[in-house]
Amino acid sequence: MEKETRRYAGALRKEHIGQNVLLKGWVQKRRDLGGLIFIDLRDKSGTVQIVFNPTVSEEALAIAESVRSEYVVEVKGQVVKRDDATVNEAIETGAIEVFVSNLEVVNKSKNPPFPIQNETDVAEDLRLKYRYLDLRRSSLQETFKLRHRTTQVIRNFLNNNEFLEMETPILTKSTPEGARDYLVPSRVHAGEFYALPQSPQLFKQLIMVSGFEKYYQIARCFRDEDLRADRQPEFTQIDIETSFMSSDEIMEMTESMMQKVMAEVKEVELPLPLPRIKYQEAMERYGSDKPDTRFGMELIHLSDSMKDSSFKVFQSAVNSGGKVALLNAKNQAANYSRKDIDKLTDFVKVYGAKGLAWLKVEGDELKGPISKFLSEEEIEAISSKAEVSDGDLLLFVADKSSVVYDSLGALRLKLGKEMKVIDEGKFNFLWVTDWPLLEYDEDAGRYHAAHHPFTMPMDEDAAKLSTDPANVRAKAYDLVLNGYELGGGSLRIYKKEQQDKMFEILGFTPEQAQEQFGFLLEALEYGAPPHGGIALGLDRIIMLLAGRSNLRDTILFPKTASASDPLTDAPSEVAKNQLDELSIQLKNKND
């Protein structure tokens, strides 16, 4: 008898029939039947059925009787053809099974707190506490294989394009501009702190000043923010920076990279160039700066027609600088009762809308509570702009522009899902360009950088920086997929005078700018090249490629919504001497 070679369970096929094999893995399931024992043996490659038969080995059969789910075993045996009647077409190894001559129990297992199977309704907290068991499920195994492949495709693409992979520090300086930093007390420098980087932004700019010209990093980033379903305290971004390239060149390079990913990971051909849409147009058409273009149902603008409306809500919205717009939910009048529409109204209120007006199209009439306030011309304008037909449901928001965009943008996505008009098989990438450089923060009474303070204004708008900052556009671009922002980038300011000016507009005194960003300002004085780049959220890309809706499924050991890890119990209390060494103490409650 020839010597057994280690084989992967999931890789056994008809062509292995007759071979002696060595398998190592986990007991997925055991069935006793007619004096035989059948086990689904699982390893990283999949599962295969192994059979214990007294005519092959009584000893192995006897041991198999003691075996339970999730035991680790090594088996030797022969691959045999299954009877035609027992062939299982549903699994790739279903044409064969392994007759076991030798079984060794390598390690036992307690009965797991939940079964290791793909479909699960087990509470996420329990699954996170036993993450090492949850990860045995094949859907998660596949997700992390996909994550691995995606990362390698991206690396290969960038390596082939002369990029150098470089590592920037995790222990860095706190720059309170932006999100909240995670801080790390210094032991050597009592009273001082490092911060974990929110992104390698400043370091990658310094790398450009260093002359490396093409940098990338699959970089860990940290933000101490209140978590949402699609946020994690630490996340991974594909971080890219180049010198001497234009926005167009960076976008073209990035979309070629995504084309490669789609081809090699999803076997989907992504036509290039990707569509581009300007920020302002995206807001007007989709009510979103990251539009999901897998379906239509765009916003229909009525402001021009409602300036003089006798319907006060519409008229005053327009005349106080706001907007009136509607969505036409085609053929949905019968599907949405008054009660349903009340729910939609509650939904848009979350986005600041004061209400949701509606009309239903019956024949060629528009019927609903607001119809009586609308003139014939107005009804005509609505009908024609919204291209109504019998059975349509029209939903209106009249408010200041940002509320109209946000509420109708969100409502559009909600309706799209409810109406099942979104093709889930599509991967609609697009670029959003021509972003505003600045956002006015009413609470703070000053401008914030819409992206970050290092973003370059468009040349033709630069002169407006002092006179009309709200209307300065940035050399910035976001990549969007199916309504998710995958990431964004920009060209950066590379002249000190312009960076000084930018800090001034953002309300920094020269001393504050120097204190926080002095090293960057100084670097710009020593021959900084024109440079720019992009950062894409790897976790989110994986989530979309894997067809998942939860970012935690794409991170090996994620944190919960309260930023804790039920598995290791992090964060946790530490010993007082650890704090003493760091010259810190817990804050007195009554301070």
Contact letters for a second copy, residues 11-50 (x by CB under 8 A): -------------xxx---------------xxx------
Shortest Å distance, C-beta 114 to a second copy: 11
Cβ-based neighbours of 243, under 8 Å, separated by 6 or more: 208, 211, 213, 214, 529, 530, 531
The answer to whether 220 is annotated as binding is: no
CB 546 within 8 A of CB 150: no
Total residues contacting a second copy by CB under 8 A comes to 118
CB 94 within 8 A of CB 88: yes
Residues numbered 99 to 138 that lie near a second copy (CB under 8 A) are 106-110, 112, 130-133, 135-136
CB 534 within 8 A of CB 489: yes
The answer to whether 255 is annotated as binding is: no
The answer to whether 479 is annotated as binding is: no
The stretch among 81-89, 323-331, 364-372, 524-532 that binds a second copy (CB under 8 A) is 524-532
Shortest Å distance, C-beta 92 to a second copy: 18
The C-alpha atoms of residue 551 and residue 542 are separated, in whole angstroms, by: 9
Residues numbered 479 to 498 that lie near a second copy (CB under 8 A) are 494-495
Rank residues 429 and 503 by Cβ distance to a second copy and give the closer one.
Answer: 503
Please report whether residue 178 would count as binding a second copy according to CB under 8 A: no
CB 264 within 8 A of CB 153: yes
Rank residues 458 and 582 by Cβ distance to a second copy and give the closer one.
Answer: 582
Q: What CA–CA distances, in Å, run from 317 to 397, 487, 533?
A: 9, 34, 40
- Four-point Cα dihedral 568, 569, 575, 580, nearest 10: 100
Sole binder of a second copy in the list 114, 144, 347, 373 (CB under 8 A): 144
Residues numbered 439 to 478 that lie near a second copy (CB under 8 A) are none
User: Residue 415 belongs to what H/E stretch?
Assistant: helix 401-418
Shortest Å distance, C-beta 503 to a second copy: 17
The C-alpha atoms of residue 559 and residue 109 are separated, in whole angstroms, by: 26
HSE-up of residue 101 (Cα within 13 Å, Cβ side):
12
The C-alpha atoms of residue 186 and residue 203 are separated, in whole angstroms, by: 21
Residues numbered 72 to 91 that lie near a second copy (CB under 8 A) are 72
Shortest Å distance, C-beta 273 to a second copy: 21
Shortest Å distance, C-beta 561 to a second copy: 9
Please report whether residue 202 would count as binding a second copy according to CB under 8 A: yes
Structure tokens at 513: 């700018």
Shortest Å distance, C-beta 465 to a second copy: 19
Please report whether residue 157 would count as binding a second copy according to CB under 8 A: no
CA Rg value for the chain: 30
Identity of residue 140: L
What sections of 163-200 are H helices per DSSP? none
The answer to whether 548 is annotated as binding is: no
Residues numbered 526 to 565 that lie near a second copy (CB under 8 A) are 526-530, 555-557, 559, 562-565
Rank residues 95 and 184 by Cβ distance to a second copy and give the closer one.
Answer: 184
Residues numbered 261 to 280 that lie near a second copy (CB under 8 A) are none
The answer to whether 223 is annotated as binding is: yes
What is the DSSP secondary structure assignment for residue 179, as one 8-state letter? Answer: S
How many Cβ atoms from other residues are within 10 Å of residue 438's Cβ?
A: 25
Question: Residues annotated in the binding site for L-aspartate, as ranges?
Answer: 177, 223, 451, 492
